[in-house]
């Protein structure tokens, strides 16, 4: 099953300096600019490539694109929406994955690299000479327009996270038509800020959109809070009218490589090249058609009948890979920038005392044979995950602290750990025999007679996930841990997996799995401030570690990559979650005639670089 949970769009970023005013440009996380920042367009290869042709792209099942405004509201923040929006209204900065790691795409980003100053409390940005499709230039005022709307309607912006942008902006100053300065509320790690904050900014045409009704003249309404709210509400109302996406004059003004040719209410979207696109890579195809599907089966049948140029192979059909390849497709996994895990609930009354014990978490992790799951359950379309940084694609963030795998499969060690801490198998379930806080006892809060018996919520609809659940039950049972699994639709699992207090009824969940397409997807800089920082809304299990908090904070404020490694090593060893193999976002099938396709781990796509060969 393909999930509908929010996925952050790929963003671009540029790396900045560390100490003092402007400094050397760095890739995300401190890779030197010479290695990290890309100055070669993804599409440079297309310049000599043939033009024309219609490309058909398969949408995820029951995931018809249904949003167009660059400020994406929370209930529409899905990858299929954000990636489409980016084709029309690019982010200020764009990132991509290269052999050197996750780096800023200097060529395709509409702005020059940001310059940090005043101890990393100020950032100055200069826009490139880009134009809107109506011929007007992209200016600083367009960025200010975005900022003014988001500032007053942040809770209706899907990418909003309390404390982050726009909260961390103290002031926004236009220096000239193409340069603006942003004063930050405190010093931030420039790599993190560019990658995870500035990438959230989209270009929005103030000169066309700053109005409060269709008949009103364009003004400067966004300069006041009430005016900005009125403009936001007007634009949202227009974005709520799917039937007019292809005809509403608002959405005809774009700065991205494509413009909308048609948009049906069933989700079939046709993009045509934007002839005024200012980026370096001009679109070669004559049109891009995104086709909706009601099921993976329907998509696969269409793929087999040859009516799709870029589709996907459902997991259960991966054994037919060679047949698909013989039909003229290249089959390759699309690795997302994400990690996958079992989420513990540290506030569940029954389970929390046990989850709080590191040795219990170690025993569980030791019992999980990740390479076996990746191979047998996922058919190789998953990679073992040992910490909070994605193992694939390779990046500058990955250190030996994680890749060395602190807890390789060793069920004997699991049992030894439990026995050493006063647990004994009674009728097949580990039972606490020696309560107490000493090093050879069960641990604080664990009562005599307590059993290692847990309930797990897991998403239904995926044969692979069900097989993995079966494996986990068996693996846990082999060390005397009882696991009962309740499979429900993904949305139901997400509804139940909420951060909670132990006294709340909703806190009855103990372990949750929602990772058929990855549990947590990252923006370009894979920091832990959302999934693992104490009190963060993304910290679903209420993991609480002062040491982890300190390490996470360091990654947000200091530019040294060593801080990321320290955080990563600690989390790999401390096991806030049980790490599991990370499945590919999808196994793609790409027509042999479709060239220059790059699958961005940030889950956006760049069809402007594709072309059809004869």
Partner 1 sequence: MLTYTLRRSGQGLLVLAGLTVITFLLEHLLPGNIARSILGVHANPATIAAFDKQNDLNRSILVQYAHFVDQLLHGNLGYSYTQNRSVDSMLASEAPRDVVLVGLSLALAIAIAVPTGIVQAMRRNRLVDHVGTGIAFTLYSMPPYVPALLAVEIFSIRLHWLPSEAPQASTAIGMLEHPAGLVLPVLTLTLVTYALFSRYMRSAVIDTLAQPFMHTARCKGLPERVIVTRHVLRNSLIAVVTLTGLSIPGILTAGLITEEVFNFPGVGLEYFNAATTNDFPTMLGITVVIGVVTILGNFLADVSYAILDPRVRL
Q: Which residues bind partner 1 (CB under 8 A)?
A: 4-6, 8, 62, 64, 66-67, 74-77, 154-158, 160-162, 239-240, 242-243, 264-268, 291-295, 297-299, 301-302, 304-305, 307, 461, 489-492, 494-498, 506, 514, 519-520, 530, 537-538, 540
Closer residue to partner 1 in complex, CB, 258/520? 520
In the complex, least distance from residue 37 CB atom to partner 1, rounded to whole angstroms = 27
Please tell me the chain's helix, strand, coil percentages from 3-state DSSP, rounded to the nearest 5.
30, 20, 50
In the complex, least distance from residue 605 CB atom to partner 1, rounded to whole angstroms = 20
Give the up-direction half-sphere exposure of residue 388: CA atoms within 13 A in the CB hemisphere.
29
Q: d(Cα 160, Cα 150) in Å, to the nearest integer?
A: 9
List the one residue out of 577, 291, 156 whose CA is nearest residue 407. Answer: 577
In the complex, least distance from residue 2 CB atom to partner 1, rounded to whole angstroms = 12
Closer residue to partner 1 in complex, CB, 414/519? 519
**In degrees, to the nearest 5, what angle opens at C-alpha 113 toward C-alphas 198 and 253?**
60
3-state secondary structure 262-314: EECCCCCEEEEECCCCCCCCCCCCCEEEEEEECCHHHHHHHHHCCCCCEEECC
Q: d(Cα 441, Cα 435) in Å, to the nearest integer?
A: 6
In the complex, least distance from residue 519 CB atom to partner 1, rounded to whole angstroms = 8
**Cα torsion 83, 89, 92, 97: sign:** positive
548: tokens are 């982890």
Closer residue to partner 1 in complex, CB, 539/555? 539
List the one residue out of 584, 529, 522 whose CA is nearest residue 551. Answer: 529
End-to-end CA distance of the chain: 35
In the complex, least distance from residue 581 CB atom to partner 1, rounded to whole angstroms = 19
Give the up-direction half-sphere exposure of residue 338: CA atoms within 13 A in the CB hemisphere.
30
In the complex, least distance from residue 225 CB atom to partner 1, rounded to whole angstroms = 16
List the one residue out of 202, 251, 525 whose CA is nearest residue 395. Answer: 525
In the complex, least distance from residue 340 CB atom to partner 1, rounded to whole angstroms = 12
Closer residue to partner 1 in complex, CB, 157/611? 157
Closer residue to partner 1 in complex, CB, 160/476? 160
Closer residue to partner 1 in complex, CB, 70/257? 70
Closer residue to partner 1 in complex, CB, 142/529? 529
Closer residue to partner 1 in complex, CB, 239/564? 239
Q: CB count, 10 Å around CB of 167?
A: 13
DSSP assignment, residue 9?
A: P
Q: Which positions ≥6 away from 137 have C-beta within 8 Å?
A: 129, 130, 131, 177, 178
Closer residue to partner 1 in complex, CB, 214/301? 301
272: tokens are 């045509």
In the complex, least distance from residue 47 CB atom to partner 1, rounded to whole angstroms = 34
Q: d(Cα 525, Cα 555) in Å, to the nearest integer?
A: 10
List the one residue out of 56, 588, 611 whose CA is nearest residue 330. Answer: 588
In the complex, least distance from residue 72 CB atom to partner 1, rounded to whole angstroms = 11
421: tokens are 């801490």
In the complex, least distance from residue 495 CB atom to partner 1, rounded to whole angstroms = 3
Closer residue to partner 1 in complex, CB, 130/157? 157
594: tokens are 């479709």
Closer residue to partner 1 in complex, CB, 327/544? 327
List the one residue out of 360, 257, 253, 240 whose CA is nearest residue 609. Answer: 257
In the complex, least distance from residue 162 CB atom to partner 1, rounded to whole angstroms = 6
In the complex, least distance from residue 329 CB atom to partner 1, rounded to whole angstroms = 14
- Helices and strands (H, E) in the chain, number of each type: 18, 25
Closer residue to partner 1 in complex, CB, 63/429? 63
DSSP assignment, residue 553?
A: H
């Amino acid at each position: 099953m393909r999930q509908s949970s929010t996925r952050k769009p790929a963003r671009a970023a540029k790396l900045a300096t560390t100490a003092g005013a402007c400094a050397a440009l760095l890739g995300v996380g401190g890779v030197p600019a010479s290695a990290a920042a890309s100055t070669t367009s993804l599409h440079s290869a297309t310049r000599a490539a043939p033009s024309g042709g219609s490309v058909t792209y398969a949408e995820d099942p029951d995931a018809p694109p249904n949003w167009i405004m660059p400020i994406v509201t929370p209930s529409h923040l899905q990858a299929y929406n954000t990636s489409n929006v980016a084709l029309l209204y690019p982010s200020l900065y764009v990132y991509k994955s290269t052999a050197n790691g996750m780096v800023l795409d200097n060529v395709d980003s509409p702005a020059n690299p940001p310059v940090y100053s005043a101890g990393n409390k100020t950032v100055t940005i200069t826009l490139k000479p880009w134009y809107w499709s109506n011929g007007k230039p992209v200016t600083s005022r367009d960025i200010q327009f975005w900022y003014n709307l988001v500032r007053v309607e942040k809770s209706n912006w899907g990418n909003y996270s309390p404390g982050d942008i726009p909260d961390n902006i103290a002031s926004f100053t236009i220096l000239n038509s193409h340069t603006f300065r942003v004063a930050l509320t405190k010093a931030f790690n420039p790599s993190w800020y560019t990658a995870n904050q500035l990438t959230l900014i989209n270009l929005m045409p103030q000169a066309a959109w700053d109005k409060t009704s269709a008949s009103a003249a364009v003004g400067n309404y966004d300069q006041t809070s009430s005016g900005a709210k009125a403009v936001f509400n007007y634009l949202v109302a227009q974005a709520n009218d799917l039937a007019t996406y292809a005809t509403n004059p608002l959405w005809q003004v774009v700065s991205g490589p494509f413009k909308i040719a048609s948009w049906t209410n069933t989700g079939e979207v046709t993009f045509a090249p934007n002839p005024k696109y200012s980026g370096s890579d001009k679109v070669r195809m004559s049109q891009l058609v995104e086709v909706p599907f009601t099921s993976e089966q329907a998509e696969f049948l269409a793929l087999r009948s040859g009516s799709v140029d870029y589709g996907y192979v459902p997991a259960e059909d991966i054994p037919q890979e060679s047949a698909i390849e013989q039909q003229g497709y290249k089959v390759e996994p699309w690795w997302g920038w994400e990690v996958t895990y079992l989420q513990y609930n540290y506030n569940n009354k029954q389970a929390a005392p046990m989850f709080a014990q590191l040795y219990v978490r170690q025993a569980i992790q030791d019992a999980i044979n990740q390479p076996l799951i990746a191979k047998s359950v996922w058919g190789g379309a998953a990679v073992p995950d040992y910490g909070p940084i994605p193992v694939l694609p390779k990046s500058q963030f990955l250190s030996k602290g994680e890749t060395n795998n602190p807890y390789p499969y060793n069920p004997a060690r699991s049992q030894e750990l439990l026995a050493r801490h006063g647990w004994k198998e009674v009728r097949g379930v580990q039972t606490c025999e020696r309560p107490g806080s000493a090093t050879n006892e069960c641990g604080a809060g664990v009562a005599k007679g307590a059993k290692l018996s847990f309930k797990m919520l897991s998403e239904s609809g995926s044969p692979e996930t069900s097989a993995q659940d079966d494996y986990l039950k068996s693996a846990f049972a082999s060390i005397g841990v009882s696991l009962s699994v309740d499979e429900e639709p993904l949305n139901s699992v997400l509804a139940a997996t909420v951060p909670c207090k132990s006294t709340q009824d909703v806190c009855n969940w103990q372990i949750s799995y929602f990772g058929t397409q990855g549990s947590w997807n990252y923006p370009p800089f894979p920091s832990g401030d959302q999934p693992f920082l104490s009190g963060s809304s993304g910290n679903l299990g209420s993991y609480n570690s002062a040491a982890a908090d300190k390490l996470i904070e360091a990654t947000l404020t200091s530019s040294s990559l060593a801080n990321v490694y320290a955080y990563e090593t600690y989390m790999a060893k401390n096991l806030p979650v049980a790490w599991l193999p990370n499945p590919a976002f999808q196994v793609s099938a790409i027509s042999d005639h479709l060239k220059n396709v790059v699958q961005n781990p940030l889950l956006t796509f760049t069809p402007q670089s594709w072309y059809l060969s004869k």
